[in-house]
Amino acid sequence: MTTAHITVDHLTMAYGDFVIQRDLSFTIGRGEVFIVMGGSGCGKSTLLKHLIGLHRPAKGQVYYDKQNFWRADAEQRIKVMRRIGVLYQSGALFSSLTLAENIALPLGEFTGLNKAEIADMVSYKLALVGLAGFEDYYPAEISGGMQKRAGLARAMALDPEILFFDEPSAGLDPVSARLLDDLILSLCDTLGTTIVVVTHELASIFAIGTNSVFLDPESKTMLATGNPKKLLAESDDPRIIQFLTRGEGRGDKQKGVL
Amino acid sequence: MRKASSTQQSEIVGYTVVRRDTDTNASLEVSGQWLRDARIKPVEQVVAELESRPVKRLSILPVELADWDSRLPSYLLKIADYCVAKAIELDVSAMPQGVQDLLALARAVPERSGARRREERAPFLANVGNSVLNLIEDSRQLVIFLGELILAVGEVLRGQARFRALDLFIFVQDAGPNGFPIVSLISLLVGLILAFVGALQLAMFGAQIYIADLVALGTVREMGPLMTAIIMSGRTGAAYAAQLGTMNVNSEIDALKTMGISPMEFLVIPRMLALVLMMPLLTLYADLLGILGGAAVSYGAFDVSITQYYHEITKAVDIVDFSVGFFKSVVFAVLIAIAGCMRGMACGRSASAVGDAATAAVVDSIVYIVVSDSLITLILNQMRI
Ligand SMILES: Nc1ncnc2c1ncn2[C@@H]1O[C@H](COP(=O)(O)OP(=O)(O)O)[C@@H](O)[C@H]1O
Ligand SMILES: [Mg+2]
């Protein structure tokens, strides 16, 4: 068992009075590829917002290592936040900056590198995600898949300990999605980065996931946590099996009932 | 088929008949053409018929059912919902396979409990209450925004604020030089109008020479700062709200926050600085053009020589008047930046929300400008400045 990197303890999430999920407890280990899965609208992106400091929990705690993330004062929270990188569902590149400037922004703010060193670093990060030579393009001038990859390059700019992805393969063709998965895996292997991925792509879930949590929109809580392959093999909750097999069941095909 | 349907609209009819088989069983016979423009009895009537004598089991039977499109499954879905609510057993097995499959698909994912939001027409008092609550919420946001802004300004004064010098340069360029043409036009015209309106009155008792006093004082103390501020709120304040609003829609502001960069320092401060630096200069420029406009009117239409006009002006306004205008323009700059940036940062996540934010920014800033102008004038008057 790896050591815990992020611990979520009885977390309840709500927008105003509208509870999205309640009583989530799970642990994300160091170096794991952790999958947050569940049907669309069940609160996966919301969970991410709670983990990266954009939305305060209605109840419950989030710990980074031993540090209570939401109890800490703003300054300490920002310190934690500098150790994480986030790839947003939409890419969220700064549309008024070129790709190079996007990636250079955190480097310029938080490192002592000089201009030339930053430029080298930017080129290296862009090359890592297969965008060498696109330094001077604006986000609007490249395709959606390329924006995703540029967003990844920016998320990795400061070599974060934890990378968060919100539906990285949404809107990508299967080959690009696969390449992105491979990229995520190799990052995890070579840099030892902990990775948290929100996705409902079964192919990705089984290809890269080493641990997971399953959110259910109906009961508004988590149904299970653990390795997705194990969940598929061992779980006896029909909702999980249905999700992980695209509704076909474990071998015995269920008939639709009216 | 399509042609026939448009020329002979009255011909297309779908029929429903509720038939009672036993005391507890009923059947609903559907026949005819169930197409988009067919005339069909409203589903509510069928439901009401069923309601009048409750049953345990309802079968839907096709009788000479000719054509059907989405009209049929959507009709049946309503009936199915009714049956679920009343615990009536529904049998659609006699219907065409396509209808059965579509119905099954439509009902495969049960409606999320609590997901539906009703758009209810709220009563008048509730509307009043809501707008008061909105007002309170708006004020709360303003206070929070101001607090964060003051902290950020503190960082600036300590020389620790993080923003890109290039951004500041671009905003300065945009708020200053790019605003020249419109400011020139408006202030020249306002000067002309002021002079003309005043001159007509003054000329009645031969005091045309005092046009200079009127225009100079009016422009330097009031119209210069006010008109510049109103132009800038429409030009720049609205632009700030739209820029920040779009960044919000695109999660760019979230991205900044998670990078540990304060959006207040990075986005708001350079915009506010640019306005604070540029507005006083623009105002001075507007004053100059307003006075020129006045000169044109007095020289052209009322026979006041340029030297006389100039002399009169040097007597009429002094450095205090210019300082008052200068002070006002700084205050207005801060207010425009606050209104624009706050509305932008609080923008919702849709295209129309960005539009609303821009509108609200302009409305807010004009209100702030006029109210603060009145207050400043009142206070200065009390202090006899
Ligand atoms: N800013 C918001 N305010 C209110 N409700 C929201 C907001 N964002 C999302 N929701 C609601 O929260 C639920 C979960 O949304 P989200 O976390 O985006 O789901 P997903 O699992 O698809 O990422 C949805 O029902 C959505 O309507
Ligand atoms: Mg989502």
Are the CB atoms for B55 and B24 separated by under 8 Å?
yes
Neighbour tally for B117: CB within 10 Å: 6
A198 vs B contacts (CB less than 8 Å)? none
Scan for tokens 């999660």, then name that residue.
B251
Q: Which atom of ligand 1 is nearest to the CA of A44?
A: 21
Distance (Å, whole) CA B342 – CA B238:
11
Per CATH, domain B9-108 is 3.40.50.1400: no
Q: Reply yes or no on whether the pLDDT at B165 is more than 90.
A: no
Neighbour tally for B355: CB within 10 Å: 15
Q: Reply yes or no on whether the pLDDT at B263 is more than 60.
A: yes
Residue with the nearest Cα to atom 25 of ligand 1?
A: A41
Neighbour tally for B94: CB within 10 Å: 13
Q: Reply yes or no on whether the pLDDT at A205 is more than 70.
A: yes
What sign does the CA torsion over A212, A226, A84, B349 have? positive
Whole-number pLDDT of residue B190: 93
The ipTM (two decimal places) reads 0.77
Query: Using 50, 70 and 90 to split pLDDT, how confident is the model at A253?
Result: very low
> pLDDT by residue (tens digit) across A52-103?
989 999 999 999 988 899 998 888 888 888 889 999 888 889 988 999 999 9
What sign does the CA torsion over B254, B260, B264, B265 have? negative
| Exposure b/e, B172-185, CB count within 10 A at least 16 = b | bebbbeebeeebbe
> pLDDT by residue (tens digit) across B179-210?
999 999 999 999 999 998 888 888 888 888 88
Q: How far is A95 from chain B (nearest CA, A)?
A: 8
Task: Give the start-to-end residue ranges of the domains of chain A.
Answer: 4-83+163-257, 94-159
Are the CB atoms for B364 and B303 separated by under 8 Å?
no
Which of the ligands is closest to the CA of residue A168?
2
Residue with the nearest Cα to atom 27 of ligand 1?
A: A41
Mean pLDDT of chain B: 88
Distance (Å, whole) CA B327 – CA B370:
15
**Residue B296 token pair:** 């044109």
Strands A67-68 and A59-64, bridge-based pairing: antiparallel
Q: Comparing C-alpha atoms, which of A98, A115, A26 is closest to residue A62?
A: A26
Q: How far is B121 from chain A (nearest CA, A)?
A: 21
**Pocket mutation for ligand 1, best pick of A19, A20, A218 (most atoms within 8 Å of C-beta):** A20
Any atom of ligand 1 within 6 Å of the Cβ of A37: no
The torsion angles phi and psi of A86, rounded to 5 degrees, stand at -130, 130
Q: Which of B69-72's residues contact partners 24+ apart within 8 Å by CB, and which partners?
A: B69/B34, B69/B35, B69/B36, B70/B36, B71/B14, B71/B34, B71/B35, B71/B36, B71/B38, B71/B40, B72/B14, B72/B30, B72/B34, B72/B99
Cα end-to-end span (Å), chain A: 45
Q: Does B260 sit within 8 Å of A78, measured CB to CB?
A: yes
Any atom of ligand 1 within 6 Å of the Cβ of A199: no
CA dihedral B359, B173, B276, B292 (to 10 degrees): -90
Strands A211-216 and A33-37, bridge-based pairing: parallel
Q: Which whole number is the average pLDDT over B269-286?
A: 95
Neighbour tally for A52: CB within 10 Å: 23
Of B380 and B5, more confident: B380
- Highest mean pLDDT among A136-150, A151-165, B112-126, B363-377 belongs to B363-377
Residues 6 or more apart in contact with residue A87 via CB below 8 angstroms: A148, A151, A152, A155, A163, A164, A165, A166, A168
For chain A, how many helices (H) and strands (E)?
9, 10
Mean pLDDT of chain A: 86
Ligand 1 geometric centre to CA of A4 (Å): 28
pTM of the model: 0.76
Q: What percent of chain B stands above pLDDT 70?
A: 94
Task: Give the start-to-end residue ranges of the domains of chain B.
Answer: 9-108, 150-382
Are the CB atoms for B229 and B376 separated by under 8 Å?
no
> pLDDT by residue (tens digit) across B88-110?
888 888 888 888 888 888 877 66
At the fourth CATH level, which superfamily is domain A4-83+163-257? P-loop containing nucleotide triphosphate hydrolases (3.40.50.300)
Q: Which atom of ligand 1 is nearest to the CA of A198?
A: 23
Residues 6 or more apart in contact with residue B357 via CB below 8 angstroms: B241, B242, B244, B245, B343, B344, B346, B347, B348
Residue A166, classed as helix, strand or coil, is strand
Cα end-to-end span (Å), chain B: 84
Whole-number pLDDT of residue B40: 86
Distance (Å, whole) CA A230 – CA B21:
53
Q: Does B100 sit within 8 Å of A258, measured CB to CB?
A: yes
> pLDDT by residue (tens digit) across B302-331?
888 889 889 988 888 889 999 999 999 999
Q: Comparing C-alpha atoms, which of A69, A47, A95 is closest to residue A199?
A: A47
| Exposure b/e, A21-47, CB count within 10 A at least 16 = b | bbebebbbbebbbbbbbbbeebbbbbb
Whole-number pLDDT of residue B115: 63
Q: Which whole number is the average pLDDT over B13-24?
A: 84
Strand ranges across the sheet with B89-91: B39-40, B13-20, B25-34, B57-68, B89-91
Query: Is B150 exposed, middle or buried (CB count within 10 Å of its CB: 0-12, 13-18, 19+)?
Result: exposed
Q: Reply yes or no on whether the pLDDT at B129 is more than 80.
A: yes
Does A89 lie at the interface with B, CB-CB under 8 angstroms? yes
Whole-number pLDDT of residue A255: 40
Residue ranges with strand state E in chain B: 13-20, 25-34, 39-40, 57-68, 89-91
Q: Which whole number is the average pLDDT over B228-254?
A: 94
Cross-chain CB nearest to B108 (options A52, A79, A256): A256
Whole-number pLDDT of residue B117: 64
Distance (Å, whole) CA B271 – CA B265:
10
Does A106 lie at the interface with B, CB-CB under 8 angstroms? yes
**Residue A176 token pair:** 């690009």
> pLDDT by residue (tens digit) across A123-162?
888 888 888 888 889 998 888 888 888 998 898 888 888 9
> pLDDT by residue (tens digit) across A219-229?
888 998 999 88
The torsion angles phi and psi of A56, rounded to 5 degrees, stand at -80, 140
Cross-chain CB nearest to A92 (options B103, B252, B260): B252
> pLDDT by residue (tens digit) across A231-245?
888 888 888 888 888
Distance (Å, whole) CA B249 – CA A195:
25
Are the CB atoms for A13 and A21 separated by under 8 Å?
yes
Whole-number pLDDT of residue B119: 61
Distance (Å, whole) CA A184 – CA A150:
14
Q: Reply yes or no on whether the pLDDT at B112 is more than 80.
A: no
